[in-house]
């Protein structure tokens, strides 16, 4: 299929848009006929450079006109240093801090003789138009393996702040991440030293993220002015519904003032270089709208508003970004008072600011009690940050709370502003700080008729509700499955009052009495031993059979019931392990069932579980009275592992064996563990508390397509009611929570998966019919066979026919793969319950088998993994009904090819007699691609071979060419590749010597060299390699590339040997270019840790 547009056209469209919308942008087309050619219009003197040196130097002088040139030289050197010894993230942080704060310079004034110090400004944030903005295309950069050419780079003042990788609309955006950005990070590490954001796009879908982040953390940038905006630009109605996301991203993020604002205020680094976070679209807009509210604070009576961003969408990071921007943008010695109502939330908030913000421990105060809090707030000049609980605003009953400070530069962040904030404690807080500015941060504001959150804090300053986060991919969707146990009694009617009381696990005596008096019958059912037994058994069956084996949280009504459930699950878990071991001995080794059981057993044996509840004085005695032992759980809560990590760190670590925790109320609010995928809910909950709890499973994490809420007491009605409140947009627009046409329902009932799976299977069958593939014929239950394996082998041949049809083009194969991945994902999400309906969904394994067969033929995946899955799938679905597989049968398509013994006539004969011409082409192509990669690894000068193969594949995919013609072209290419693979033998050189020989000829026309001169060049290659590898004194010592003196020695030896051995035709300019190329060759090998270094 011909492409509607090429990547080059998309690239040019981006350049045109930036120049048209923002005339300050200049365009540099750095195209050169040869990748190593200079000059290229960039001003670079070395193709490994990633800055525009002339522009950078000019802007340093312009922004720091009174600073001596030698000082600017040092700033230039610091900004452009190679930073080879640093990790990519550490190097990025070091350069970023100079971008944001300037280069810290010290020098002696030549006139006064006095020492001077100043931050050398790199970017002018106050005056965006005084900076130099350039969009650069076709820029070849020399990397660790040959040359690479990013599609577009945005340079500000000569530094590459934005990386843009473009794909055709027929390709998935993830390919730009997997095939380009991932490789560039390894091969062009210097390109990302100054990088702020990476944009990946196919025109229709655009993702923005940190170069260091996983793809799942790349988000779309579709909203220009408000988080609730529909995609589009209000000033350009024609684009509102065009869904050209690249257009939105370029306008919304790369406008000069926005880009500089983003650079300065929306990038966070972990204090130990453990990560980098950059703002998503909704965070950028939300923080900036709040900044504008603060600017208007004189008219707001201390009420800055409500910052409503749903749980899991990065609200804590938004708080850090907001505090930092307010402190930078407005004058005043601000104090940020950060209020929560739970110790664990207070700890988490403090760690977030400490680890991800500019805050140091010395800048923060954490009062131990109410008296200390009053003392801290009464200081004339308070600390920068105060972290405390709302409960510490308690005061003697009957006495008015004193005014502690009349300062107007105290900014109060109230995180999760619920319940206690609206009573006496909140009044005390406001009486104490009458001139403070109050801002509520919440994922679940208190709504309803009274709208209490708004009464205290004002109207929404930023809205990003539950369904919007799911639609944007900021959180994953949630599935709800009712697994209420049937134990002979109906489940109680769980009223709102009961749910409200149970929100707190440490009840007062009055609350406990009210609970036992008024809700005894409901509690009796929820605590019944036979019911808990049923819940435990179901949980133990369900947990290890899920599709995505993420971490899990089980929620119970109170602390004793939490421990009881833990005890029962622990018992049945150990029993299940013993049963699985026994079952494993009864199934045939090598079968899919054996493989599944073995993997499940390993996971179960490794799993750890723990109880996480708050501990109060007297709890040990209370639990003993109920015949429960809380002591081991208290010990586990206080325990540190060998690395000094506590239980919270262990659970947040996806790789740690602690996979299941039992809670009552802890870790249900503000607790962020992205790998949690399942919540087992056995506690009446409602409204904001329910929304907070289910959000534990909605975080984005690699491999997690959805979170699962398992209800052991049916909360579906409460969930539906809550979703109406927490997904309803502004007045005047319809609710989105139940809109089946949005495609982004934030929560779906589990059974809806079967509907989606049925629809997807029907669609792929219909689509396959348009490709002349009768997919259902691969189900052979109606095909009799006299021989036990006859139907199976016939079916394998049929599936090979299907694969041959799909391999007519990459577009056709990818279209099938897209549908197959959807079906496989739905099937995995429906586990384990779907396993009870295997007979109905046998077509799923046919789809998956064919998908893996295509991947195996084309090499478009992990071949070993595909082989393994094929073996498993054959056991399950491609067999006739009633047939049991005792030995895995793996289809191995194609032949093993050897380039050195490749017989073209044999290949032609095989092709002529084959019934599957497309498979023959795909196998030969895969073989040639693999061999090409091997040859490229041995010699970086073989890039033209890659370009030729790419042209053949492009012609194949474009259609209009007979398969026989393409096969002949591939055979001709194979002949050329075979000759190249043997060239070192014909030249009498090793592979290493040949690579050096090619490098030495790179800047000269070989036709102009005589035979004697070519022999001299060959001798130079041998001599240089021998001198560097073998002769004394050794110069290629360990880590030589990191030391200036050692690098100089290597460079000197290269010059010396080449000067003696190269022919006279290498004049001074040619010699200099060749010498530089050779040194860079050895230097890059050393950086990669390859031979000779």
DSSP 642-703: TTS--HHHHHHSTTSSEEEEEESSTTSSS---TTEEEEEE-S---HHHHHHHHGGG----TT
Residues 157 and 214 placed together within one structural domain of the fold:
yes
Q: Where would I find the H helices in 543-672? A: 559-584, 592-606, 619-625, 631-638, 647-652
Number of domains in the chain: 6
Maximum Cα–Cα distance across the chain: 106
Distance CA 403, CA 377 (A): 10
Inside any domain, residue 884: no
Query: In the chain, count of helices (H) and strands (E)?
Result: 39, 26
Residues 767 and 906 placed together within one structural domain of the fold:
no
Question: 532-545: string of b/e by CB count within 10 Å (b at 16+)?
Answer: bbbbbbbbbebbbe
Specify the pLDDT at position 183: 85
Distance CA 1009, CA 224 (A): 60
Inside any domain, residue 471: no
Residues 262 and 402 placed together within one structural domain of the fold:
no
Residues 869 and 780 placed together within one structural domain of the fold:
yes
Specify the long-range contacts of residues 782-788, CB closer than 8 Å, at least 24 apart.
Answer: 783/880, 785/880, 788/883
Angle (deg, nearest 10), helices 256-265 and 281-295: 90
Residues 870 and 957 placed together within one structural domain of the fold:
no
Angle (deg, nearest 10), helices 592-606 and 559-584: 140
1025, two tokens: 């390699």
Inside any domain, residue 656: yes
Inside any domain, residue 887: no
Alpha-carbon distances, residue 937 vs 31, 146, 646 (angstroms)? 25, 10, 45
Distance CA 445, CA 465 (A): 10
Q: What is the extent of the structural domain holding 553? A: 491-740
Distance CA 734, CA 228 (A): 13
**Residues 6+ positions from 617 with CB-CB distance below 8 Å:** none
Inside any domain, residue 482: no
Specify the pLDDT at position 364: 94
Asked if 1086 contacts 1040 with a C-beta cutoff of 8 angstroms, the reply is: yes
Describe the strand order of the beta sheet including 335-340 as a list of residue ranges. Answer: 364-365, 385-389, 335-340, 410-415, 437-442, 303-309, 460-464
Backbone angles phi, psi at 186, to 5 degrees: -85, -45
The one-character DSSP state at 166 is E
Domain end call among 464, 499, 521 = 464
Inside any domain, residue 71: yes
Alpha-carbon distances, residue 1009 vs 531, 983, 984 (angstroms)? 90, 19, 19
Inside any domain, residue 891: no
Distance CA 268, CA 325 (A): 12
Residues 766 and 728 placed together within one structural domain of the fold:
no
Tokens 């505090």 sit on residue: 323
Domain end call among 971, 986, 1001 = 986
Residues 998 and 981 placed together within one structural domain of the fold:
no
Residues 912 and 954 placed together within one structural domain of the fold:
yes
Residues 245 and 338 placed together within one structural domain of the fold:
no
Specify the pLDDT at position 964: 80
The one-character DSSP state at 730 is S
Half-sphere exposure of 240 (CA within 13 A, CB side): 8
Residues 981 and 1012 placed together within one structural domain of the fold:
no
CA dihedral 539, 541, 546, 552 (to 10 degrees): 30
Instruction: List the Cα angle 514/679/700 in 5-degree steps.
Output: 130
Domain end call among 960, 986, 1012 = 986
Specify the pLDDT at position 742: 38
CA 1088 to chain centre: 25
Residue 460: enclosing H or E segment and its boundaries?
Answer: strand 460-464
Residues 638 and 783 placed together within one structural domain of the fold:
no
Distance CA 407, CA 405 (A): 5
Specify the pLDDT at position 23: 96
Inside any domain, residue 617: yes
Alpha-carbon distances, residue 455 vs 157, 294, 295, 426 (angstroms)? 47, 18, 21, 12
Residues 648 and 661 placed together within one structural domain of the fold:
yes
CATH number for the domain spanning 557: value is: 3.40.50.300
Q: Which residue positions in the chain have pLDDT lower than 50?
A: 1-3, 232-243, 420-421, 448-450, 488-494, 505, 728, 730-743, 782-790, 861-896, 1092-1093
Distance CA 1069, CA 1063 (A): 14
């Amino acid at each position: 299929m011909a492409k509607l547009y090429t990547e080059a056209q998309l690239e040019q469209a981006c350049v045109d848009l930036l120049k048209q919308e923002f005339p300050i942008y200049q365009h540099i087309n750095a195209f050169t006929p040869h990748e190593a050619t200079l000059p290229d219009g960039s001003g670079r003197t070395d193709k490994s450079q990633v800055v525009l040196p002339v522009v950078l130097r000019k802007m340093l002088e312009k922004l720091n006109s009174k600073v001596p040139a030698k000082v600017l030289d040092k700033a230039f050197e610091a900004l452009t240093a190679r930073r080879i010894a640093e990790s990519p993230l550490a190097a990025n942080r070091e350069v970023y801090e100079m971008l944001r704060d300037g280069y810290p310079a010290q020098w002696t004034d030549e006139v006064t003789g006095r020492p001077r110090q100043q931050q050398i400004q790199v970017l002018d944030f106050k005056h965006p138009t005084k900076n130099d903005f350039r969009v650069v295309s076709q820029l070849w950069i020399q990397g660790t393996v040959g040359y690479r050419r990013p599609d577009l780079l945005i340079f500000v003042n000569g530094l590459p702040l934005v990386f843009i990788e473009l794909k055709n609309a027929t390709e998935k955006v993830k390919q730009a991440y997997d095939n380009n950005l991932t490789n560039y990070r390894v091969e062009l590490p210097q390109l990302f030293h100054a990088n702020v954001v990476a944009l990946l796009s196919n025109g229709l879908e655009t993702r923005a993220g940190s170069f260091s982040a996983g793809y799942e953390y790349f988000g779309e940038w579709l909203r220009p002015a408000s988080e609730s905006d529909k995609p589009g630009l209000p000033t350009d109605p024609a684009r509102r519904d065009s869904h050209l996301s690249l257009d939105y991203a370029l306008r919304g993020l790369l406008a000069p003032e926005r880009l500089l604002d983003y650079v300065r205020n929306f990038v966070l680094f972990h204090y130990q270089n453990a990560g980098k976070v950059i703002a998503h679209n909704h965070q950028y807009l939300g923080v900036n709208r709040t900044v504008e509210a603060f600017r208007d604070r004189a008219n707001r009576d201390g009420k800055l508003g409500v910052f409503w961003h749903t749980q899991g969408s990065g609200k804590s990071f938004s708080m850090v970004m907001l505090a930092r921007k307010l402190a930078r943008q407005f004058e005043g010695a601000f104090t940020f008072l950060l209020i929560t109502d739970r110790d664990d939330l207070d700890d988490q908030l403090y760690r977030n600011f400490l680890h991800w913000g500019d805050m140091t421990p010395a800048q923060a105060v954490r009062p131990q009690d109410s008296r200390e809090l009053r003392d801290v707030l009464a200081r004339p000049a308070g600390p920068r940050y105060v972290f405390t609980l709302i409960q510490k605003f308690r005061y003697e009953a009957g006495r008015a709370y004193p005014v502690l400070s009349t300062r107007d530069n105290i900014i109060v962040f109230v995180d999760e502003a619920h319940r206690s904030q609206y009573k006496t404690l909140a009044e005390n807080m406001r009486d104490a700080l009458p001139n403070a500015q109050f801002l509520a941060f919440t994922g679940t504001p208190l709504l309803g008729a009274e709208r209490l959150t708004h009464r205290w804090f004002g109207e929404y300053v930023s809205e990003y509700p539950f369904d919007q986060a799911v639609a944007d991919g900021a959180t994953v969707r949630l599935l709800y499955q009712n697994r209420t146990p049937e134990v002979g009694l109906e489940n109680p009617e769980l009223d709102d009052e009961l749910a409200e009381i149970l929100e707190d696990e440490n009840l007062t005596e009055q609350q406990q009495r009210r609970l036992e008096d008024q809700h005894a019958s409901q509690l009796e059912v929820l605590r019944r031993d036979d019911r808990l037994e049923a819940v435990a058994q179901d949980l133990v069956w369900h947990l290890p059979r899920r599709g995505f084996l993420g971490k899990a949280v089980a929620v119970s009504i109170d602390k004793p019931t939490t421990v009881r459930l833990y005890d029962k699950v622990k018992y049945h878990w150990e029993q299940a392990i013993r049963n699985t071991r026994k079952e494993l001995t009864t199934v045939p080794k090598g079968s899919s069932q054996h493989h599944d059981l073995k993997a499940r057993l390993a996971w179960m044996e490794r799993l750890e579980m723990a109880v996480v509840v708050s501990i109060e004085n007297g709890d040990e005695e209370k639990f003993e009275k109920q015949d429960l032992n809380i002591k081991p759980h208290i010990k586990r809560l206080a325990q540190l592992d060998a690395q000094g990590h506590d239980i919270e760190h262990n659970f947040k670590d996806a790789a740690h064996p602690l996979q299941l925790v039992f809670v009552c109320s802890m870790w249900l609010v503000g607790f962020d563990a992205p790998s949690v995928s399942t919540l087992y809910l056995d506690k009446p909950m409602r409204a904001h508390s329910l929304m907070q709890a289910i959000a534990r499973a909605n975080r984005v994490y690699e491999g997690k397509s959805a979170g699962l809420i398992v209800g052991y007491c049916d909360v579906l009605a409460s969930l539906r009611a809550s979703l109406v409140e927490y997904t309803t947009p502004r007045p005047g627009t319809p609710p989105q929570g139940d809109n089946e046409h949005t495609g982004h329902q934030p929560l779906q009932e589990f059974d809806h998966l079967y509907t989606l799976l049925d629809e997807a299977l029907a669609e792929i069958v219909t689509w396959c019919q348009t490709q002349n593939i009768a997919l259902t014929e691969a189900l052979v239950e109606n095909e009799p066979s006299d021989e036990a394996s006859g139907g199976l082998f016939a079916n394998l041949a049929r599936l090979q026919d299907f694969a041959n049809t799909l391999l007519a083009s990459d577009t056709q194969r990818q279209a099938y793969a897209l549908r197959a991945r959807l079906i496989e994902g739905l099937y995995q999400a429906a586990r384990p319950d779907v396993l009870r309906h295997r007979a109905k969904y046998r077509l799923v394994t046919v789809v998956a088998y064919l998908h893996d067969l295509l991947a195996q033929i084309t090499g478009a995946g992990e071949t070993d993994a595909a082989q393994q899955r094929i073996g498993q799938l054959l056991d399950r679905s491609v067999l006739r009904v009633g047939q049991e597989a005792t030995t895995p049968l793996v289809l191995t398509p194609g032949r093993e090819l050897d380039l050195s013994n490749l017989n073209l006539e044999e290949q032609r004969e095989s092709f002529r007699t084959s019934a599957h011409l497309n498979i023959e082409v795909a196998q030969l192509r895969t073989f040639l691609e693999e061999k090409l990669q091997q040859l490229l690894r041995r010699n970086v000068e073989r890039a033209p071979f890659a370009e030729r193969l790419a042209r053949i594949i492009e012609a194949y995919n474009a259609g209009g060419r007979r398969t026989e013609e393409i096969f002949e072209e591939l055979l001709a290419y194979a002949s050329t590749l075979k000759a190249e693979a043997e060239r070192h033998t014909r030249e009498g050189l090793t592979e290493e010597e040949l690579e050096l020989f090619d490098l030495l000829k790179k800047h000269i026309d070989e036709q102009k060299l005589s035979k004697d001169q070519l022999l001299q060049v060959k001798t130079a290659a041998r001599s240089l390699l021998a001198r560097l590898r073998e002769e004394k004194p050794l110069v290629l010592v360990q880590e030589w590339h990191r030391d200036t003196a050692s690098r100089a020695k290597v460079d000197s030896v290269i010059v010396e040997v080449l000067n003696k051995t190269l022919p006279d035709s290498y004049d001074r300019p040619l010699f200099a270019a060749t010498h530089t190329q050779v040194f860079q060759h050895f230097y890059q090998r050393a950086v990669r840790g390859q031979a000779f270094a």
